[in-house]
Amino acid sequence: MSMEEVFNDGIYECIVVATNVEKYKVTSKVTVILQIRDDISATELKNTNKIYAGYRLKLEYWQKKVSHTFNISNFQYLCYACGLPEGVEINGINGLNDWLIGRQIRVMQHAEYSDYFRMRVNNIAPWKVYPTQYPNTELTRKYRTSLGLETD
């Protein structure tokens, strides 16, 4: 892990910029990379978005080592927060990636000490994701169009 800046605890309004999958010997991890939005000047975000606009946070979803499955509820929180319509079928991680890119999301970030890394790290619990309170459809359209993805 590189030395990452530890951000203030609080609510951040973000846009999903990428997802990736890492495979290890006994488990896998899906990482959703969020860019902190710079198009919001709300007073409630003065200690978060205003300071860290343009920086990135990560949501990490680890596969269970014994069953080799992911906790599907965690992905449901994410999809709900990003506005996935009821009944839309997502085909695997590539389908999830294609749908998530450019979606806006509100997250609660909390820095905590990691025994593994022996330092404070940024952390977003999978259930601490919410729909944005500052929707910007032009931002989503612009971002998705620049990557050649459909804008719905």
Which tens digit of pLDDT belongs to each residue from 77-136?
898 999 988 888 888 778 888 889 999 999 999 888 888 878 888 888 888 999 999 998
For the chain, strand residue ranges (E) read 10-23, 28-36, 56-62, 104-114, 119-123, 129-130
Distance CA 64, CA 67 (A): 6
Which tens digit of pLDDT belongs to each residue from 41-57?
889 999 999 999 999 99
